[in-house]
């Protein structure tokens, strides 16, 4: 009896060790996902290949763990290059099924990665959530605060994240990008291996290498020149159109016209979408003093936003938080160019501080709904028309870090609960949402007139 047990135990150990041997880790890291094309049918997987050769992504709709042979689909990298001291590999997956979970491993000559997974976007109107924020720094309390904010991602399980510019100090320091991508990979994924696609936007701190986001996230550009790094994505059929603009194309007015022409064409093409959201790094009218007014952007874009009924304009750069009432441009009667119009206006949300040290919020306008000084992200829940009500967006400002009396970053994320795949619309336990009377913690769009 005793011998039988020993034989059984030895057999188990043998099986275990042979599995471990089969699945030595692949020699890669900094895995990230990005949406560069149709979010319902494509996904870009990027990573830094450290050693080893011939990496291949094995994937499919069934979870096969690390058993790469059992996945039904495979794809070799579609773009490989050495840059910023990284051996960057992009694998652009296409022909995916909409609104579907996909599981994948990356196998190279050294071994097999852990099993990760992602979701494609729906191709018809369906409720989903996303996170929007921007401005991270590579050192000090700002780095610490940025890590706290990134730790909200696995807790909320959004469909995607719009990162609204200013990733590092100057966009050209290899160790800063290595750190940013490592943090993103380590802190933004869930314990069950889900990764979330990033939708990157060019900020002024990417000045060191204009077009760098194409090298880091495979982000698309226009007119065959990475200097024109702006693009758009549609989600849920004609439910949401996202335009990712570039506030940093230089010189301002003259060259902006090319982007403005592209924007007009893009908005014309998608004017019948239920919701239209544009993200761009610099706000027209910063809500903190000392930040320059961006009148060239206002002139180029604000009237077009109004003409085509843009619903949400998301910005960053100032390192604080703001939400405005719906506003329309009015250069004669407007204050700082805008008047409140709850029925026809665009609601502007932002202004950065994913990690960057919060600036004072003391430059409100008559059309400002609320501003605040802390590290934050915007959490948006999109709902299509249904029997229970008309299509709307719920916007929440999540406070992720504040400073104590010694100016140390304090986490507001650590004790926050984790949502499950079953329901990503409820509030996780202990989440800190910016809330003030009479508006409460959730701002709805379309905005109810007269509140």
Nearer to Fe ion, 141 or 351 (CB): 351
Q: Which among 80, 75, 77, 38 is positioned nearest to 60, based on CA atoms?
A: 75
Nearer to Fe ion, 108 or 166 (CB): 166
Among 317, 341, 351, 363, binds Fe ion (CB under 5 A): 317
x/- track of binding to Fe ion for residues 107-146 (CB under 5 A): ----------------------------------------
Nearer to Fe ion, 317 or 341 (CB): 317
Q: Which among 365, 381, 375, 420 is positioned nearest to 398, based on CA atoms?
A: 375
Nearer to Fe ion, 157 or 378 (CB): 378
* By CB under 5 A, residue 166 contacts Fe ion: yes
Nearer to Fe ion, 201 or 347 (CB): 201
- Could you tell me the smallest distance in angstroms from the CB atom of residue 351 to Fe ion? 10
Q: By CB under 5 A, how many residues form the interface with Fe ion? A: 4
Nearer to Fe ion, 183 or 317 (CB): 317
* Minimal CB distance residue for Fe ion: 317
- Could you tell me the smallest distance in angstroms from the CB atom of residue 281 to Fe ion? 6
- Could you tell me the smallest distance in angstroms from the CB atom of residue 72 to Fe ion? 44
- Could you tell me the smallest distance in angstroms from the CB atom of residue 356 to Fe ion? 8
* By CB under 5 A, residue 351 contacts Fe ion: no
* By CB under 5 A, residue 315 contacts Fe ion: no
Nearer to Fe ion, 176 or 189 (CB): 176
Stretch that binds Fe ion, among 71-79, 159-167, 363-371, 380-388 (CB under 5 A): 159-167
241: left (phi over 0), alpha (psi -120 to 50) or beta: beta
Stretch that binds Fe ion, among 74-82, 310-318, 325-333, 392-400 (CB under 5 A): 310-318
Nearer to Fe ion, 209 or 317 (CB): 317
Stretch that binds Fe ion, among 52-60, 95-103, 314-322, 414-422 (CB under 5 A): 314-322
Nearer to Fe ion, 122 or 134 (CB): 134
412-451 residues in contact with Fe ion (CB under 5 A) are none
Nearer to Fe ion, 123 or 317 (CB): 317
- Could you tell me the smallest distance in angstroms from the CB atom of residue 297 to Fe ion? 13
Among 204, 270, 411, 441, binds Fe ion (CB under 5 A): 204
Instruction: Report the 3 state secondary structure along the chain.
Output: CHHHHHHHHHHHHHHHHHHHHHCCCCCEEEEEEECCCCCCCCEEEEEEECCCCCCEEEEECCCCCCCHHHCCEEECCCEEEEECCEEEEEEEECCCCCCCEEEEEEECCCCECCCEEEECCCCCCCCEEEEEECCCCCCHHHHHHHHHHHCCHHHHCCCEEEECCCCCCCCCCHHHHHHHHHHHHHHHCCCCCECCEEEECCCHHHHHHCCHHHHHHCCCCCCCCCCCCCEEEEECCCCEEEEECCCCCCCHHHHHHHHHHHHHHHHHHCCCCCEEEEECCCCCCCCCCCCCCCHHHHHHHHHHHHHCCCCEEECCCCCCEEEECCEEECCCCCECCEEECCCCCEEEEECCCCCCCCCCCCCCCCCEEEEECCEEEEEEEEECCECCECCEEEEEEEEEEEECCCCCEEECCCCCCCCECCECCCCCCCCCECCECCCECCEEECCCCCC
Stretch that binds Fe ion, among 110-118, 271-279, 294-302, 312-320 (CB under 5 A): 312-320
- Could you tell me the smallest distance in angstroms from the CB atom of residue 379 to Fe ion? 21
- For binding to Fe ion (CB under 5 A), which residues are involved? 166, 203-204, 317
């Amino acid at each position: 009896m005793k011998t039988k047990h020993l034989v059984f135990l030895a057999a188990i150990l043998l099986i275990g060790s042979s599995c471990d041997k089969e699945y030595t880790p692949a020699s890669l890291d900094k895995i990230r996902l990005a949406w560069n094309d149709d979010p319902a049918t494509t996904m870009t997987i990027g990573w830094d290949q450290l050693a080893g050769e011939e990496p291949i992504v094995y994937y499919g709709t069934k979870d096969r763990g690390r058993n790469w042979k059992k996945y039904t689909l495979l794809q070799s990298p579609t773009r490989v290059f050495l840059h910023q001291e990284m051996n960057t590999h992009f694998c652009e997956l296409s022909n995916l099924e909409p609104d579907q979970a996909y599981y994948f491993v990356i196998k190279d000559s050294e071994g097999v990665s852990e099993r990760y997974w992602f979701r494609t976007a729906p191709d018809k109107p369906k409720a989903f959530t996303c996170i929007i924020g921007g401005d991270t720094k590579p050192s000090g309390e700002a780095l610490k605060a940025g890590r706290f904010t990134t730790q909200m991602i696995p807790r909320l399980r959004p469909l995607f994240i719009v990162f609204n510019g200013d990733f590092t100090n100057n966009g050209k320091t290899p160790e800063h990008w290595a750190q940013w991508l490592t943090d993103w990979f380590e802190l933004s994924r869930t314990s069950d291996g889900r990764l979330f696609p990033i939708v990157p936007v060019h900020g002024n701190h990417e000045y060191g290498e204009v077009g760098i986001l194409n090298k880091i996230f495979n982000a698309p550009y226009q007119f065959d020149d990475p200097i024109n790094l702006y693009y758009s994505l549609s989600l849920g059929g004609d439910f949401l159109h996202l335009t990712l603009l570039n506030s940093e194309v230089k010189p301002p007015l003259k060259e902006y016209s090319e982007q403005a022409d592209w924007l007009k064409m893009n908005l014309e093409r998608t004017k019948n979408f239920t919701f239209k959201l544009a993200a761009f790094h610099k706000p027209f009218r910063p809500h903190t003093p000392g930040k320059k007014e961006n009148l060239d952007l206002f002139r180029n874009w604000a009237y077009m936003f109004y003409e085509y009924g843009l619903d949400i304009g998301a910005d960053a750069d100032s390192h604080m938080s703001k939400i405005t009432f719906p506003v329309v441009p009015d250069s004669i009667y407007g204050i700082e160019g805008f008047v409140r119009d709850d029925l026809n206006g665009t609601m502007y949300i932002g202004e950065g501080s994913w990690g960057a040290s919060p600036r004072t919020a003391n430059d409100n306008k008559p059309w400002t709904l609320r501003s605040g000084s802390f590290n934050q992200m915007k959490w948006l829940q999109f709902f299509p028309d249904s029997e229970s009500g008309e299509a709307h967006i719920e916007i929440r400002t999540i406070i992720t870090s504040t400073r104590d009396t010694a100016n140390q970053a304090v986490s507001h994320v650590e004790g926050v609960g984790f949502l499950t795949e079953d329901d990503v619309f409820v509030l996780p336990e202990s989440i800190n949402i910016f809330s003030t009377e009479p508006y409460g913690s959730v701002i709805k769009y379309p905005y109810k007139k007269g509140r």
